[in-house]
């Protein structure tokens, strides 16, 4: 599947005020219809562009797709108080955006932190969720993956070019994304960094507030990490598709198997040659998501 690197087409930007006055951004692809919309929630330092390939594909099939930028990511305002980069506030921001767009019920696709937000939402407003795709995330996290994330969030070198950015991502991933094509690596770096100069190989900067690193650095990895099994249980009456990167160091096969044991409607899919978190840009993975969401009718 050929990747379209023009991320500024096929959607309308919406800006909504948060409860504390920040401008929050969402990409809206397609029009409201009688089909359930898809709501896409990105990872810790990720943004709405991560879902561009998915959104273009499914909007052409008659669905509306809403991809959110949490505060401090993408085109949403950065928060002067880094302590506001937490799941509770970010979920409230998401609810504010969805209310402004008249979304009552949807299928949620959450990558990593976005999947955690989806589980949290299920525990407080299960009526909003018709089904959930959890991308490389579960109720329990692995210390190894958290340690690796702590090592690079907010600390990556500033690349002089997109090609140098690829080298940085390859180093950070330590061979875990062995299945990516050169085109997919180019997609990966362009969703991670933005170019603010006239030359595409100059003035690259990450698409998130570097202060987000403070929130992840506060996690004490010498102590047990709180789990979200209670929140996952709130999804037990809803269809769930659990995606896992084949080489993921954050989301283990053991955790995924326990999810299956606890949830009879939990399907699984392994994304070959990828780790945390799969890009959702390859045709086999998008086809598997399509197969899952087409079965959800309520």
Q: How does 7-41 read in b/e, with b if 16+ C-beta sit within 10 Å?
A: beebbeeeebebeeebebbbbbbbeeeebbbbbbb
Is pTM beyond 0.85? Reply is yes
User: Residue 157's pLDDT band (boundaries 50, 70, 90)?
Assistant: confident
Q: Domain spanning 12-141+226-293: which CATH class is it, in words?
A: alpha beta
Between 283-293 and 52-59, two packed helices, what is the crossing angle to 10 degrees?
Answer: 50
Per-residue pLDDT reduced to its tens digit, 49-59: 999 999 999 99
Cβ–Cβ contacts within 10 Å for residue 132, how many? 26
pLDDT at 175: 86
CB distance 79 to 85 below 8 Å: yes
Per-residue pLDDT reduced to its tens digit, 110-151: 999 999 999 999 999 999 999 999 999 999 999 999 999 998
Per-residue pLDDT reduced to its tens digit, 59-93: 999 999 999 999 999 999 999 999 999 999 999 99
Per-residue pLDDT reduced to its tens digit, 228-247: 999 999 999 999 999 999 99
Q: How far is CA 1 from the centre of its chain?
A: 21
The residue extents of the domains of the chain are 12-141+226-293
pLDDT at 199: 52
User: Residue 200's pLDDT band (boundaries 50, 70, 90)?
Assistant: low
pLDDT at 287: 97
CB distance 202 to 160 below 8 Å: yes
User: Residue 154's pLDDT band (boundaries 50, 70, 90)?
Assistant: confident
User: Residue 156's pLDDT band (boundaries 50, 70, 90)?
Assistant: confident
User: Residue 6's pLDDT band (boundaries 50, 70, 90)?
Assistant: confident
Q: Determine if residue 74 is left, alpha or beta; phi over 0 gives left, psi from -120 to 50 gives alpha, anything else beta.
A: left
Per-residue pLDDT reduced to its tens digit, 264-297: 889 999 999 999 999 999 999 999 999 999 999 7
Q: How does 210-248 read in b/e, with b if 16+ C-beta sit within 10 Å?
A: bbbbebbeeeeeeeeeeebeebbebbeebbbbbbbbbbb
Average pLDDT over residues 175-203: 83
pLDDT at 57: 95
User: Residue 178's pLDDT band (boundaries 50, 70, 90)?
Assistant: very high
Per-residue pLDDT reduced to its tens digit, 265-274: 899 999 999 9
Gap between the Cα atoms of 146 and 44, Å rounded: 12
pLDDT at 5: 78
Of the chain, the end-to-end C-alpha distance in Å amounts to 31
């Amino acid at each position: 599947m050929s990747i379209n690197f023009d991320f500024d087409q096929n959607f309308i930007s919406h800006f909504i005020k948060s409860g504390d006055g920040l401008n929050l951004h969402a990409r809206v692809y397609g029009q409201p219809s009688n089909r359930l919309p898809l709501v896409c929630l990105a990872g810790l330092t990720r943004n709405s562009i991560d879902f561009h390939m998915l959104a273009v594909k499914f909007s052409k099939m008659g669905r509306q797709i809403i991809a959110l930028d949490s505060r401090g990511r993408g085109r949403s305002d950065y928060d002067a108080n880094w302590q506001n980069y937490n799941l509770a506030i970010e979920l409230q921001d998401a609810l504010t955006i969805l209310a402004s767009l008249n979304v009552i019920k949807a299928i949620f696709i959450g990558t990593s932190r976005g999947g955690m937000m989806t589980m949290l939402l299920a525990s407080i407003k299960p009526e909003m969720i018709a089904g959930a795709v959890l991308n490389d995330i579960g109720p329990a996290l692995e210390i190894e993956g958290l340690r690796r994330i702590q090592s690079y969030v907010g600390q990556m070198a500033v690349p002089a070019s997109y090609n140098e950015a690829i080298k940085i991502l390859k180093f950070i991933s330590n061979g875990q994304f062995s299945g990516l094509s050169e085109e997919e690596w180019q997609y990966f770096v362009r969703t991670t960094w933005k170019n603010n100069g006239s030359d595409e190989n100059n003035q690259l900067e990450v698409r998130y507030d570097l202060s987000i690193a403070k929130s992840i650095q506060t996690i004490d990895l010498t102590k047990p990490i709180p789990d979200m099994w209670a929140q996952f249980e709130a999804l037990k009456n809803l269809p769930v598709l659990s995606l896992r990167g084949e080489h993921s160091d954050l989301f283990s096969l053991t955790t995924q198997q326990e999810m299956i044991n606890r949830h009879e409607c939990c399907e699984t899919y392994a994304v070959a040659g990828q780790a945390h978190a799969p890009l959702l840009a390859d045709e086999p993975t998008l086809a598997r998501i399509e197969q899952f969401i087409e079965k959800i009718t309520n």
